[in-house]
Amino acid sequence: MKFAILKNNFFWSSGSGRESALTFPNGKMSRLTPAATKKNCSAFTLAEVLAALLFLAIVVPTAVEALHIASLAGEVAARKGAAARVADRVLNESLVMTNWNSGTQNGTVTENGIEYRWTRSSASWPAQSALSMVTAVVKYSAQGKEYSVTLNTLANPTTQATGMGSQQ
């Protein structure tokens, strides 16, 4: 297989295997051995190297920031799920224990080594005065930032005095 390349006003042609030929513009040919052809191979120019370094200077910090944001999003999502479970547990316990109307309460729950601070409060529901809205707010931190989850439910004050398991 033979091929020729025009480079810097010289024709390079590849012979059948081991030797290459260099043809000068005046028509004279020179045979080159494989070692000589390797020595004459081209390299990157300074402009190409600087362009590659500029590209890396832009891409590497952007990729690192993208990984940081993805890590934060994953951590916040996992902790938000745990905080929602804590808020649900606080609301359910206060409704079962019928202490939801006893003012604001707060506490701390530790789950998997992470602290979740919760606050439970109740207020009159604006849509209907016979019902009360019980709110649980759970705060947590992820990578130094504070986040919170809020859950609400409605409670009927008239059922508060009714005991569990009463028979008629």
pLDDT class of 3 with cuts at 50, 70, 90: very low
Tokens of 147: 């986040």
Give the pLDDT confidence of 72-81 residue by residue, as tens digits: 999 999 999 9
* Domain range list for the chain: 3-42, 47-159
Count Cα atoms within 13 angstroms, Cβ side, for 64.
Answer: 6
Percentage, residues of the chain above pLDDT 90? 46
Give the pLDDT confidence of 110-161 residue by residue, as tens digits: 988 899 999 999 888 887 778 889 999 999 999 889 999 999 998 887 765 5
Burial (0-12, 13-18, 19+ Cβ within 10 Å), 117: middle
| Whether CATH 2.60.120 fits 47-159 | no
Q: Is the pLDDT of residue 166 over 70?
A: no
Q: Are 25 and 11 in contact (CB under 8 A)?
A: no
